[in-house]
Amino acid sequence: MKFIKRNYGWMLVAILAILPLFIIFGMVNIDYANGLSISMIEDTASEGRSTLDILYHISGEFAIRWMTAVLTCTPFFILFGINNLFVRQAMGIATAVWSLLHFIIFVWGEGLLETFTQANYIAGFIAVLILLPLLFTSNRKSMKRLKSKWKQLQSLAYVAIVLSLLHVALLDKTWLIYAVIVGLGFIIRIPPIKKSILAYRIHQRKLKEI
């Protein structure tokens, strides 16, 4: 029970990140009869969309959702004083895993060379490359080993989100809501605004203590 109480946030993120995978698994057929063979199950999509289109949509949508969630952690702390570093790390892992899965599905459907044919594909590819080292260093051992450099490395997530927003914007996908959320988060981080919010929170807390 102590373990669950201490890690419930991390576990909740893991569950939320894993559940959509069952939708993807329902669209592919994995055959172990003659080695490992993976193929798409057709007629699983609707509205005239192919199975591959749905796989692109699901994986890409969850990748940018988790990325946006990670970048709202600091503004959320500024606004409400709630912070959990390891929940943020779990969100970061979910972001990297879903982004990598999105890229793998793209390569599976279109081929690796197609990645370099359009600016939006290149932007997405670079974002995935940036997220990979963040994925492998999102643990306590890496934090202790890298020390101050760990935060510098993790700050590359900002570059990844900009590239990801560029990727979906060039694809004419629904990207504006994510840009608004991330933009508001950056506004809250501006030192004078951040200072004012923190001062207001301290003032409100003192009023409650009276």
pLDDT of residue 130: 92
Q: How far apart are CA 144 and CA 147, in angstroms?
A: 5
Number of other residues whose CB lies within 10 A of the CB of residue 113: 8
pLDDT of residue 43: 63
Q: Rounded to two decimals, what is the model's pTM?
A: 0.84
Give every CB contact of residue 137 below 8 A, 6+ residues apart in sequence.
143, 146, 150, 153, 154
| Rg of the chain in Å (alpha carbons) | 20
pLDDT of residue 173: 64
The length of the chain in residues reads: 210
The angle subtended at Cα 25 by Cα 19 and Cα 26, nearest 5°, is 100
Q: Which residues pair with 31 in a beta bridge?
A: 37
Domain count, the chain: 1
Better-predicted residue by pLDDT, 64 or 85: 64
What is the residue range of 195's domain?
2-209
Q: How far apart are CA 150 and CA 147, in angstroms?
A: 6
Does the pLDDT at position 134 exceed 90? no
| Mean pLDDT, all residues of the chain | 83
pLDDT of residue 41: 75
Q: Is 141 exposed, middle or buried (0-12, 13-18, 19+ CB in 10 A)?
A: exposed
pLDDT of residue 8: 76
pLDDT of residue 44: 57
* 1 — pLDDT class (breaks 50, 70, 90): low
Sign (positive or negative) of CA dihedral 97, 100, 73, 85: positive
pLDDT of residue 208: 77
The pLDDT tens digits of the residues spanning 25-83 come to: 888 777 777 766 777 776 655 666 788 888 888 898 899 889 888 888 888 888 888 77
pLDDT of residue 104: 92
For helices 73-80 and 51-71, angle between their N-to-C axes, nearest 10 degrees: 40
Q: How far apart are CA 75 and CA 69, in angstroms?
A: 10
